[in-house]
Amino acid sequence: MKNKLKAFIQRIFNWIKKNKIKSAVAFLLLLIYYFSLPGTLFQEPYSTVIESKEGELLGAKIASDGQWRFPAQDSVPDKFKKCIVYFEDEYFYKHPGFNPVAMVNAIKQNRKAGKVVRGGSTLTQQVIRLSRKGKGRTYFEKIIEVILATRLELGYSKDEILELYAAHAPFGGNVVGLEMASWRYFGVQSNQLSWAENATLAVLPNAPSLIYPGKNQIKLLNKRNRLLLKLYEERIIDQQTYELSIDEPLPQKPYDLPQIAPHLLERAAKEKEGTRVKTTIDYALQNRVNQIAKYYYNQYKQNEVHNLAILVIDVSNRNVMSYVGNSPTDNDHQKDVDIIDAPRSTGSILKPLLYGAMLDDGELLPNTLVADVPTQIAGYTPQNFNLTFDGAVPAHRALSRSLNIPAVLMLQEFGVNKFYEELQKFKLRDINKTPDHYGLSLILGGAESNLWDLCRTYAGMSSTVNYFNRNQGKYRTKEFTELNYKNDFEVDFGDESDQKNILGAGSIWLTYNAMEQVNRPEGDEAWKFYDSSLKIAWKTGTSFGNRDAWAIGTNSKYVVGIWVGNATGEGRPSLTGVTSAAPILFDVFNLLPRQRWFDTPYKDLEEAGVCKLSGYLAKEGCPKIKQWIPLKGKSTAVCPYHKMIHLDITEKYQVNSSCESVDNMVLKNWFVLPPVMAWYYKSQHIEYLPLPAFKEDCQGTQTTTMDFIYPKTNSKIYLTKNFNSEVQPVILKVAYSERDKELFWYVDNVYKATTKTFHELPIMPASGFHYITVVDAFGNEIRRKIEIVKE
């Protein structure tokens, strides 16, 4: 056998030597034949198609040439294979790309008819013809098709050729390809089609005009039934299937494509148009979240609130599980705007990041008292949502109640520049102006961000705690990585590290504990929807003018983000994070499996003695409690509000050596807040006791126990007018610990009035600078310089 093969090869070489020109021509022809088939057979643009992680169609966008043409699938349903082969090309699996017998018969029939009535093309030839659009149906073109068809057979398997045909065959109108046709005419995926439906589609490319509703129905029905009969005769289908199939009706009207995640579809199209993207979307969850969005849209549109967005993230892998970019509204209300990626005023949604940063930097402890008093800073006057003051409030309660004044004072202490740099680490891309541009309003909605970035930030924080606890106190260098919606993409979390990425696990855990202890934030009373068994860390936000309502929540497994408002920026009085966004947040969380709360990251915490009343590190004499604090928490200040005082034997009066012998003095530790803080604090805390007065015969004991509530130092005050254009007075206010004592008021050193119990004084000063002086009965004095401006 080997000798024969060698002899055959030798004869070929000998022939080549003798016929060099013929050999060169043959080689050239073979080379031309080999490269005759384009590397990419079809150059047409495709529709952008997105599918759920289960493979369900979420939506599709028409191709740029106006055709509905889905990218080719990697397989063709078996039923359609059999239908198309028995209808178009029975010898498909036997011929080399063309069928000589069929071609001869076609030539005879065409000559007899005097025109082209039969093509005789195989499915392989039809694929070539579909790829060579605009070519005439001539015998020369037919020869080219035959040559290219044989070349296609050499480079592709039979199944791959069927896949090309199924993806590019015309099915009537601007419908191209089996997959689009199955959705358009039957409203299902191609692998869900019945025998009758497959047979209907198999006969269409041969005469695509037959599909138009109300036209040619008898012709289409006959062609379909003839194919079904052939399948029955060839024993492809049994008698019962055949009889049931011929009774099935033809499609009467086109179906709309599913539009389950239209804004995610647009996002995918912007990134890479004309591709099929298998997403990370959970099909069942997406449909249920869509139902929630529709329900609340129908509720809110009655109050002229027309838009909302919902984003659900899997913390473990950053996969997007549900993406609702807008409500099912109309064109007049910007239904095509993807709110998830749109910059909107943040309201209070950044407060947890400030709280966490201050914990992490050792500038705050969870229970540290923060001032909540009337405040004016360089002309900026923040107000709490409910327009009240607590005097002093623990930092964690200020966060859970979303109090604005404590947040502003915390930001002032932490530093706007420093907090801005912290936000840049989170890659909140819409916070892109200078720190000076934002100022202290940065914490109350003076900046803009978007739902995508905010959910990514909270997912990164949640994952930081999870990874730290599961990996012996380690972090990952890329923990705050981008979110992902592509099913075949694996997120890179970087390398393991001993160093925190942005915030430490302990600070995040303490922040989440504060966020979990929400107690009717921002004055809302309607918490019927709150499920106390659903333990999540969450935060609401409302922008100035009630234009944006936010709610973002997280547990150890999921992050859910909600935005509600008008895409136009129009505000509505009742639009708040609590009343509008939070109900959606909890409804979405109720769809998700219950999750355990975050484990305590003990390696990033330490137990410390903390003053029970002030929340600072306890000093000697403070009532002490044990509390977990960040590792840097030991560098925070000790309690500044406890002071040692001397009392008489009855403990009713303060004394000193001028009025009481040392033996009769009682030494006691007393909790004393600054006057303005104390003024408001005592109204909320009946247990708060002001300092006892000194005995009347004590000398040198008078201390300043009063302070201005309003105005603040160097205030610029604009006089306002009422509806009758009458200028309104300026109301001066002072906090004074001696409630029953009198205060004497002077403006520019001119006596104006005396007040007792309630120390407020209305004045009508002229424009310009003025000095306000207040003196008590003991001669203690406070002064303020103000500037009056008349509009």
pLDDT digits (tens, 9 = 90+) for 734-743: 988 777 788 8
* pLDDT(609) > 50: yes
* Residue-wise pLDDT tens digits, 295-338: 999 999 999 999 999 999 999 999 999 999 999 999 999 999 99
Question: What pLDDT sits at residue 379?
Answer: 66
Which CATH number characterizes residue 490's domain?
Answer: 3.40.710.10
Q: Which of 302, 301, 303 is nearest to 329 (CA)?
A: 301
| Average pLDDT of every residue of the chain | 87
Question: What pLDDT sits at residue 9?
Answer: 67
Q: Which residues contact 161 (CB under 8 A, 6 or more apart)?
A: 123, 124, 127, 152, 153
Do the strands 742-747 and 750-756 form a parallel or antiparallel pair, or are they unpaired? antiparallel
Q: What value does the mean pLDDT take over residues 449-456?
A: 97
pLDDT band at 23 (very low <50, low <70, confident <90, very high): low
* Residue-wise pLDDT tens digits, 118-151: 556 888 888 888 888 767 666 677 788 888 878 8
Which tokens in the block code for residue 211? 């599909």
pLDDT band at 374 (very low <50, low <70, confident <90, very high): confident
Tell whether 47 is covered by a domain: no
Tell whether 266 is covered by a domain: no
* pLDDT(80) > 70: yes
* pLDDT(526) > 60: no
Tell whether 40 is covered by a domain: no
| Cα gap 625→612, rounded to integer Å | 6
Cα separations (Å) of 433 from 33, 349, 439, 493, 543? 62, 18, 11, 29, 18
Do the strands 715-719 and 781-790 form a parallel or antiparallel pair, or are they unpaired? parallel
Regarding whether 170 and 109 lie in a shared domain, the answer is yes
* Residue-wise pLDDT tens digits, 562-580: 999 999 999 999 899 999 9
Which CATH number characterizes residue 773's domain?
Answer: 2.60.40.10
3-state secondary structure of 362: coil
Regarding whether 710 and 661 lie in a shared domain, the answer is no
Q: What percentage of the chain has pLDDT greater than the value 90?
A: 55
Contact 739, 708 (CB under 8 A): no
Which tokens in the block code for residue 454? 């905010």
Tell whether 252 is covered by a domain: no
Question: What pLDDT sits at residue 109?
Answer: 64
Which tokens in the block code for residue 652? 């009713």
Question: What pLDDT sits at residue 500?
Answer: 93
Sort residue 223 into left (φ over 0), alpha (ψ -120 to 50) or beta.
Answer: alpha
Regarding whether 545 and 428 lie in a shared domain, the answer is yes
Regarding whether 622 and 647 lie in a shared domain, the answer is no
Q: Which of 410, 411, 452 is nearest to 430 (CA)?
A: 452
Cα separations (Å) of 303 from 567, 570, 571? 15, 12, 11
Using the 3D structure, point to which of 196, 220, 246 is the last residue of a domain: 246
- Count of domains in the chain? 5
| Cα gap 656→319, rounded to integer Å | 69
Tell whether 44 is covered by a domain: no
pLDDT band at 108 (very low <50, low <70, confident <90, very high): low
Regarding whether 573 and 436 lie in a shared domain, the answer is yes
Sort residue 764 into left (φ over 0), alpha (ψ -120 to 50) or beta.
Answer: beta
Question: What pLDDT sits at residue 527?
Answer: 45
Tell whether 92 is covered by a domain: yes
Domain that holds residue 239: 59-246
Q: Greater confidence, 90 or 264?
A: 264
Regarding whether 646 and 552 lie in a shared domain, the answer is no
* pLDDT(106) > 80: no
Regarding whether 72 and 6 lie in a shared domain, the answer is no
* Residue-wise pLDDT tens digits, 621-633: 899 999 999 999 9
Regarding whether 648 and 517 lie in a shared domain, the answer is no
Regarding whether 104 and 24 lie in a shared domain, the answer is no
Regarding whether 617 and 648 lie in a shared domain, the answer is no
Tell whether 103 is covered by a domain: yes
Reported in sequence order, the residue ranges of 62-110 that DSSP labels E, i.e. its strands, are 68-69
Regarding whether 615 and 507 lie in a shared domain, the answer is yes
* pLDDT(363) > 90: yes
* Residue-wise pLDDT tens digits, 505-525: 999 999 999 998 764 434 444
Q: Which residues contact 678 (CB under 8 A, 6 or more apart)?
A: 391, 672, 688, 690, 735, 737
Which CATH number characterizes residue 160's domain?
Answer: 1.10.3810.10
Q: Which of 414, 403, 401, 397 is nearest to 360 (CA)?
A: 414
> Residues 17, 18, 19, CA angle at the centre, nearest 5°?
95
- Which helix (H) or strand (E) is 400 found in, with range? helix 395-400
Regarding whether 364 and 453 lie in a shared domain, the answer is yes
Tell whether 268 is covered by a domain: no
